[in-house]
């Protein structure tokens, strides 16, 4: 895939607030490919980063700059910390993974140091957060600010781009850079897959006949775990041989565990915490459940298709994650739990395409690390000007 020639070295500064979510994964997966393109990544962040992330950045020739939180250390300390990378390096562009009014200080400092290209990356769909007039005004201002600051419209998918830059944004003139995965993590032989499945289900304590449903993601309101609990209650009330495993960590963990206990759902719903690497766990599942109110572009759905696991997700989630393999089905947010369960049971019995077919679909949609990185470099070096999944 790597036939893009960047004869002159390019240096890019990524700005991210924290480490450990989809944004840091996006940068990490791109960084692993950048040495082949002679592209340097620097990162400015408030967080400590994992050794693996740091190594990937250093391998490009880049550095990680720790920012000072203006709320804790003051504006002067923040300005000094974010000025440091510009004082040490000359950047071709700044790739900002912070949006709205919070992006303004980064934009102003970058411009002060003469950076001409400043891109805000649309990762999230924020519309569901609008509950009142104040929210409407705040997000309306944010969209206008994003549109004014960004050099062009870039994001993980069409819904995220329109949420961050406005509903009238021309998607045909926008650049989608897919969140990507390492396909080698999912390219199992039939024997390896069967072994992982048997070992995983044994560790989970479930029989071969039990339908194993996984809800993967951070434990936060947008993921709609309340729907998952309602599906669990339907399973319990109807004495169905199925179990739901909630995989992930987050602010709602204690609240959700208490709700499961209060509703007597312990037999049906279990919590695994965060699992890493998740790729080797996926074969334990019969089907993925994703009832989120909204998503920018849930890479999990791409991952599980690669791993040979079908998905049932809410119909508010972008169809860009559907690889065209017949492995993704949708239900409405207001659909009865029985409708959701019936669809989950149906998809759990699906005849799954073989691994080479699945990997090829990932490559064709540019969801592999290699294909997505090539898009990234081609775009920022001006070889292409738009891409849609």
pLDDT in tens, 21-75: 789 999 999 999 999 999 999 999 999 999 999 999 999 999 999 999 999 999 9
Q: Give the mean pLDDT of the chain.
A: 93
CATH number of the domain that 109 lies in?
3.40.50.2000
How does pLDDT run across 249-258, given as a tens digit for each residue? Answer: 889 999 999 9
Number of Cβ within a 10 Å radius of residue 350: 16
Short-list 66, 4, 55, 67, CA closest to 28:
55
Burial (CB count <10 Å: 0-12, 13-18, 19+), residue 258: exposed
Q: What DSSP character marks residue 69?
A: P
Residue 165: which domain range? 10-180+366-380
pLDDT band at 214 (very low <50, low <70, confident <90, very high): very high
State percent of the chain over pLDDT 70: 97
- For residues 189 and 228, state if they share a domain: yes
- Does 386 map to a domain? no
pLDDT of residue 21: 78
- Does 3 map to a domain? no
Distance CA 346, CA 202 (A): 23
- For residues 261 and 236, state if they share a domain: yes
Number of Cβ within a 10 Å radius of residue 385: 11
- Does 36 map to a domain? yes
- For residues 248 and 322, state if they share a domain: yes
- For residues 187 and 65, state if they share a domain: no
- For residues 153 and 202, state if they share a domain: no
- Does 385 map to a domain? no
- For residues 260 and 122, state if they share a domain: no
pLDDT of residue 276: 81
- Does 2 map to a domain? no
Number of domains in the chain: 2
pLDDT of residue 128: 65
Burial readout 160-192 (b: 16 or more C-beta within 10 A, e: otherwise):
bbbbbbeeebeeeebbbbbbbbbbebbebeeee
User: Is the model's pLDDT at 273 over the cut of 80?
Assistant: yes
- For residues 292 and 217, state if they share a domain: yes
- For residues 175 and 132, state if they share a domain: yes
Distance CA 379, CA 381 (A): 5
- For residues 176 and 232, state if they share a domain: no
Mean pLDDT of 384-389: 92
Write down how long the chain is: 389
Residue bearing tokens 């340097």: 40
How does pLDDT run across 110-162, given as a tens digit for each residue? Answer: 999 999 999 999 998 876 667 788 878 887 898 999 999 999 999 999 999 99
pLDDT band at 19 (very low <50, low <70, confident <90, very high): confident
pLDDT band at 2 (very low <50, low <70, confident <90, very high): very low
255 SS3 class: helix
pLDDT of residue 305: 96
- Does 243 map to a domain? yes
Residue bearing tokens 């998905």: 311
CB 45 within 8 Å of CB 20: no
- Does 259 map to a domain? yes
Distance CA 367, CA 360 (A): 10
Distance CA 55, CA 102 (A): 28
How does pLDDT run across 324-357, given as a tens digit for each residue? Answer: 999 999 999 999 999 999 999 999 999 999 999 9
- Does 172 map to a domain? yes
- For residues 359 and 372, state if they share a domain: no
- For residues 41 and 169, state if they share a domain: yes
- For residues 191 and 166, state if they share a domain: no
Whole-angstrom CA distances from 303 to 184, 361, 367 are 11, 12, 9
Nearest 10 degrees: CA dihedral of 344, 214, 231, 255? Answer: -160
- The C-alpha angle with vertex 369 and arms to 62 and 20, in degrees rounded to 5, equals 60
User: Is the model's pLDDT at 234 over the cut of 60?
Assistant: yes
Distant-in-sequence, close-in-space partners of 249: CB < 8 Å, separation ≥ 6: 218, 219, 273, 274
Short-list 389, 372, 381, 384, CA closest to 33:
372
Distant-in-sequence, close-in-space partners of 132: CB < 8 Å, separation ≥ 6: none
pLDDT of residue 124: 85
Q: What DSSP character marks residue 317?
A: S
User: Is the model's pLDDT at 1 over the cut of 70?
Assistant: no
Instruction: For residue 212, list its beta bridge partners.
Output: 243
pLDDT of residue 324: 96
């Amino acid at each position: 895939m790597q036939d893009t020639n960047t004869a002159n070295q390019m240096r890019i500064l990524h700005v991210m607030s924290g480490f450990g979510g989809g944004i840091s994964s996006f940068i990490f997966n791109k960084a692993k490919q950048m040495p082949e393109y002679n592209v340097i990544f620097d990162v400015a962040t408030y967080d400590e980063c994992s050794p693996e992330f740091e190594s990937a950045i250093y391998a490009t020739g880049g550095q990680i700059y720790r920012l000072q939180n203006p709320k804790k250390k003051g504006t002067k300390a923040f300005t000094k910390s974010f000025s440091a990378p510009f004082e040490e390096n000359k950047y071709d562009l700044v790739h900002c993974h912070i949006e709205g009014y919070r992006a303004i200080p980064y934009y102003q400092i970058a411009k002060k140091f003469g950076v001409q290209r400043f891109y805000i990356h649309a990762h999230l769909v924020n519309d569901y957060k609008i509950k009142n007039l104040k929210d409407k005004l705040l997000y309306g201002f944010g969209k206008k600010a994003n549109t004014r600051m960004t050099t062009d419209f870039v994001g993980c998918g069409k819904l995220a781009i329109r949420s961050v830059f406005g509903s009238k944004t021309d998607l045909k003139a926008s650049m989608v850079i897919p969140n990507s995965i390492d396909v080698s993590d999912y390219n199992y032989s039939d024997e390896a897959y069967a072994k992982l499945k048997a070992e995983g289900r044994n560790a989970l304590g479930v029989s071969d006949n039990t339908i194993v449903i996984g809800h993967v993601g951070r434990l936060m309101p947008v993921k709609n775990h309340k729907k998952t609990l309602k599906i669990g209650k339907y399973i319990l009330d109807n004495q169905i041989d199925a179990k739901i495993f909630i995989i992930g960590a987050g602010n709602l963990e204690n609240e959700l565990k208490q709700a499961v206990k209060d509703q007597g759902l312990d037999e049906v719903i279990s919590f695994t915490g965060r699992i890493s690497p998740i790729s080797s766990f996926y074969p334990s599942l019969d089907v993925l459940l994703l009832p989120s109110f909204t998503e920018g572009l849930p890479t999990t759905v791409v991952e599980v298709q690669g791993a040979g696991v079908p998905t049932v997700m809410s119909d508010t989630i972008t169809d860009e994650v559907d690889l065209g393999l017949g492995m993704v089905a949708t239900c409405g947010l207001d659909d009865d739990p029985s409708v959701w369960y019936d669809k989950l049971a149906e998809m759990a019995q699906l005849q799954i395409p073989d691994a080479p077919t699945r990997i090829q679909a990932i490559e064709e949609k540019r969801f592999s690390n290699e294909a997505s990185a090539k898009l990234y470099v081609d775009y920022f070096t001006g070889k292409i000007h738009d891409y849609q999944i």
